[in-house]
Every structure is written in C-alpha cells, then in structure tokens.
Structure 1
Amino acid sequence: MAENITLNTVERVTTLTISRPAKRNAITQDMYAAMADALETYTRSDDSRAFVITGAEDYFTAGNDLQGFAMGSRGDEVPPVTRFLAAISTCPKPLIAAVNGPAIGVGVTMLLHCDLIIASDTATFSTPFVQLGLVPEAASSLLLPATVGMAVANDMLLANRVLASDEAVRFGLVSRLIPFADLMAETAKVAAQLANAAPNSMLKSKSLIRQGREQVAAQMEKESILFAEQLNSPEFAEVIAARQQKRMPDFT
C-alpha cells in the first residue's frame, strides 16, 4: 500500500483513508494506484462486503495533486487515475463515502459513484475545473446534473459554486448529514448494516439501481480526452505558473 493511503478491514468492512493532511489530502498518482488496487481487491474479495472512503483529520480531499499532473504521465499503460475511476464506477459491491471536511474536484466527482454519502456538518463541495483550466472528470458532466439538477450543476461546474453540507443534502448529493464528532461512528453503523445484509441480494439490488448508467463509461472517456488536452494546454500552464508566482491567472 502506498504512503498516504491506509486500509483497515474489520468485520467485513474495509475503510480506506486518504491520509496526506499536510497537503489537505491531495491525491498523487501513487495514491490513485493504491486506491485502484484496494477497490479491485475489494471487488474480488469475500472477506469484505462494504467499503468506506474517508479523509484524514479535517479534510476529505483537496482533489488532484496539480503539480503531479503537470509533470505528465510516467508512461504507464493505464494511468493510475484512470484505473481508480474505472474501479469506483464499476464496483458491484456497496461503496460508502464518509465526507469529513471539504471535498474538492475529484473529492466530489468520486462521490457520484458511491452508493451512500454521509457527510459531516463541516463538509463543503466544490468542482473548480474551469477555474483550473480543466474540464469535468469521472462522468461528472453527466452524473452531477442528474443528481443535483442542471441549474445547480452548472453553478458548480462552470461558476465554482461551493455547496455547504446542508445544501448538499437538500440538492440530493449527500445521503445523511452528521455532526463531525459522530461521523465515523455513524458511518461504521451504516457500513455494518450493509456488510451484514444478504450479499447476493445486495449485489443484485445495486445492479438494478444502477440500470441506465450505460452512458457513464462513454462520457468518462470523452471527458478524459478533453481533460488530457487541457493538461497540455497554455491555460493549464498559466494556472500552474500563477500558483507558483502567487498571483491570479491571466487568460487574456
């Protein structure tokens, strides 16, 4: 398991913690690879029947580590982020997100592939792709409008509206809202309920609920092509330069 990703399995519940608090739990390529490995193992394993994703300390994740993405691919046959998104979007077993604090970028888009999203009252949700010179990812351009409605999705994806936790519940992005101090205890109860349910019934029920999502893989592929183009664009280069120089990006 890669540094900054911890796994713990207790009574058929596996908890994955994104643990890089010094960088607000921003996700590197190595972390994506470890997360993909964990989800692929969970899918095949009989030892775990519920999977929880959470963040360390008071952040869920600040999203992609932009410096790592700016450095480009290391020549992997399948990029780690692609493996992770494929694993989370196709996992046939139940997935729970325990959103303990701010969720940014992929911190939001991965939630669209989870079955239950339990958030603390300190959580916030933002998707600043356009502000970074990028485009939506993980089929969020399809799934976010279907989840929160077109008006709110446009506000988030184009204008970077940040949703507070109570708004996320009201718009249907979050399943349950829990005080920060009680988040992991409540999540453990829900995860145990799922892990102790009839396993075949759970698998078949999730499959039925997920019907009609055949477009997801195709949309994810379209997004990944455009995302890669933007990573190599002058716009993204300007974002990185502006961050390094501690100034606002200039797209004129």
Structure 2
Amino acid sequence: MNDVTAHLDNGVLTLKLNRPAKKNALTKAMYTALTEELARALSDETVKVVVIAAEGDDFCAGNDILDFAQDLPVYQDETAAHDDLPVFRFLKAITFFDKPLVAVVQGQAVGVGVTLLLHCDLVVAADDARLSLPFLKLGLVPEAGSTLLLPQRIGHQRAFEWLAMGQVVPAEDARQMGLINRVVPLENLPEAVAAFTDRLRVLSPSALMATKRLMRDPETLWQVVRAEGALFRQQLVRPETQAAFRAFLSR
C-alpha cells in the first residue's frame, strides 16, 4: 500500500495520508510523494482543487521520529542545502502552490500536521480534532513558516502561548481563532468538504489562482521557512534537543 494515495474526481485531486497505524506520521518518502503530486497538480489543467486528507482516526502525528532520526546526520550537516532535503522540498511546494488547497482534519494533528494547515486556503475539521505544536518541548523551533503565519492568523500573544506552553487546542477553539473554517461531526466531513470543493471547481481557475497570489507573499514566506529551517537544524545538535529525542525513542 502507498503511504500517500492520489485520486482525481471531477477536478478535485485528493491526496490522502495512508499510514493510519502510525497516525499518519510523515516520512521522507511521504514528503517526496506529496511534493511530486503537488507538482503534477499544478501542471495538470484538469485539477481545479487539491484536498489533503488522511485515513484512519488521526490526521497527522507530525514527523515520524524514527524515520527522522535516521537522517539526523544529514540535517545536522550545515553544508547540506535545504532543497536537498525532502521536507524542505515539500514546504517549498506548498508555499508556492497557487491552486486552491483544502485540508480535512480528524483526530490528532501534531507539529507539521498543524503548520501545513496554515498554507491551506480552507480547513474543515471533525469535532474530535485536536491540534498541538510541541516544537519547543523538543528543543526545536517551529517550521513551515509558522512563526510568520501563526501570529498573522491568531495574534502574537496567543501564538506565543500555544508554542511555548504546547497545549492541545480543540477543533472548536481553533475555529474561533481563525485556523479552521468549519467544524462538523466526524460522519459529516465528506459533505462539508464537498460543499467547498463543488463550488471551487466551477470557478474560473485563472481568477482563483490570481486571487490567491494577491492574498499571499510566497517569496517572503519562503525566506521565513528557510530561516526557520536553518535554526531548526542548529537546534538538532543541542544537548537538550538530543536528550528529548532519546527520551522519545526509548518509549
């Protein structure tokens, strides 16, 4: 089974994280697959909207720590370019993706499972969704441009509290903060997503893409992503971060 599946139906491309036994934690192979699918979606005129969804009870538990730990030497190598790493290629793809991007969230969304939502134009969540950002608990800095996007969305104080305290934010609280468009019962997720995608796919593609470009500044955002990435990689060699990783891997 592929850990990322792609299905195109009537102009809507659904990319589904398909690793439910691991709570859809992302591996480098999954980052590569998502990046390739987003590139194909941009070049395919039949794709009007892209939906990021997930199989199972949880949306995404963040990075797969075991998979990530195997590549720690590469991340810690300051001579390795950002664009050589699968995670940064994916982050660049969503930063510059100018077709409508919709996320569907259920259960846990952790780390990058939350920060990628900041790049989506619409987010629909089940009422059981729970969002958490544990970067500082691991001795790391946030990523995916979230140090820019999160304060823009919810204000500095709330963003700082969430990042520093690391609390779990329920779906309805996230909706009230402006991170989620709709919160619905789990069984109603398909209908809620279709209500958005059915309307988006019949709009003028050029007008949608132009509007999205006007609303975003991807060049500035990408510079923030790169700056975060450089600091993220520096933090990986710090004793407190390595201790946090060892504690996690020993569970």
Query: Which TM-score band (shorter chain)?
Result: over 0.9
**One-letter code of the match for 1:194?**
L
Residue 201 of structure 1 is matched in structure 2 by: 207
Q: Which has the higher mean CA deviation after the structures are superposed, 108-117 or 190-199?
A: 190-199
Contact 1:118 1:177 in 2 (8 A): yes
Residue 70 of structure 1 is matched in structure 2 by: 69
- Unaligned 5+ segments in structure 1 are 247-252
Q: 2:36 aligned with 1:30, yes or no?
A: no
Residue 240 of structure 2 is matched in structure 1 by: 235
Contact 1:32 1:84 in 2 (8 A): yes
Among candidates 118, 136, 142, match of residue 130 of structure 1: 136
Contact 1:121 1:177 in 2 (8 A): yes
1:68 is paired with a residue whose SS is helix
Instruction: Give the Cα separation in 1 of the matches to 2:2 and 2:140.
Output: 27
Contact 1:108 1:126 in 2 (8 A): yes
Shift of 1:10: 0.3
- Unaligned 5+ segments in structure 2 are none
Residue 58 of structure 2 is matched in structure 1 by: 59
Cα RMSD after superposing both structures: 1.7
Residue 114 of structure 2 is matched in structure 1 by: 108
Among candidates 148, 155, 170, match of residue 176 of structure 2: 170
Shift of 1:3: 2.5
Identity %: 38
**One-letter code of the match for 1:216?**
L
Contact 2:15 2:52 in 1 (8 A): yes
Alpha-carbon displacement from aligned partner over 1:81-113 (angstroms, at most 9, x marks no partner): 111100011101100001122110001110111
2:99 is paired with a residue whose SS is coil
Shift of 1:185: 2.3
Instruction: Give the Cα separation in 2 of the matches to 1:237 and 1:3.
Output: 31
Instruction: Give the Cα separation in 1 of the matches to 2:24 and 2:225.
Output: 24
Shift of 1:28: 0.3
**One-letter code of the match for 1:144?**
L
Alpha-carbon displacement from aligned partner over 1:141-166 (angstroms, at most 9, x marks no partner): 11101111111111111110211111
Q: Which has the higher mean CA deviation after the structures are superposed, 9-18 or 154-163?
A: 154-163
Instruction: Give the Cα separation in 2 of the matches to 1:183 and 1:134.
Output: 33
Contact 1:70 1:231 in 2 (8 A): no
Alpha-carbon displacement from aligned partner over 1:99-134 (angstroms, at most 9, x marks no partner): 122110001110111100111101111110011121
Contact 1:103 1:124 in 2 (8 A): yes
Q: Which has the higher mean CA deviation after the structures are superposed, 191-200 or 79-88?
A: 191-200
1:91 is paired with a residue whose SS is coil
Shift of 1:189: 2.7
Contact 2:125 2:183 in 1 (8 A): yes
Q: 2:151 aligned with 1:152, yes or no?
A: no
Residue 41 of structure 2 is matched in structure 1 by: 42
Shift of 1:200: 1.3
Instruction: Give the Cα separation in 1 of the matches to 2:248 and 2:219.
Output: 38
**One-letter code of the match for 1:19?**
N
Instruction: Give the Cα separation in 1 of the matches to 2:240 and 2:202.
Output: 49
Instruction: Give the Cα separation in 2 of the matches to 1:215 and 1:164.
Output: 30
Instruction: Give the Cα separation in 2 of the matches to 1:204 and 1:23.
Output: 38
Q: Which has the higher mean CA deviation after the structures are superposed, 180-189 or 32-41?
A: 180-189
**One-letter code of the match for 2:48?**
R
Instruction: Give the Cα separation in 1 of the matches to 2:162 and 2:215.
Output: 25
Q: 2:16 aligned with 1:17, yes or no?
A: yes
Among candidates 189, 193, 206, match of residue 195 of structure 2: 189
